[in-house]
């Protein structure tokens, strides 16, 4: 198993656009053959 640099991106705050932005980043990463995990707290 080779190590790599992971990334954690947290979107917080009131208003709109957080889910859209996070899913957009996730889909772009998947398109580049990266592993993606999405966790949402409500």
Residue 26's pLDDT is what? 96
Residue 1's pLDDT is what? 56
Residue 42's pLDDT is what? 79
To 5 degrees, how large is the angle CA 37–CA 20–CA 23? 20
User: What would the pLDDT profile of 1-42 be if each residue is shown by its tens digit?
Assistant: 576 788 999 999 999 999 999 999 999 999 999 999 999 987
The residue ranges of every structural domain in the chain are: 1-42
Please check whether residue 12 is in contact with residue 18, taking contact to mean a CB–CB distance below 8 angstroms.
yes
């Amino acid at each position: 198993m080779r190590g790599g640099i992971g990334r954690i991106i947290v979107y917080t705050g009131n208003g709109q656009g957080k889910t859209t932005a996070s899913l957009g980043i996730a889909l772009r990463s998947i398109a580049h053959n990266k592993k993606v995990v999405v966790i949402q707290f409500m």
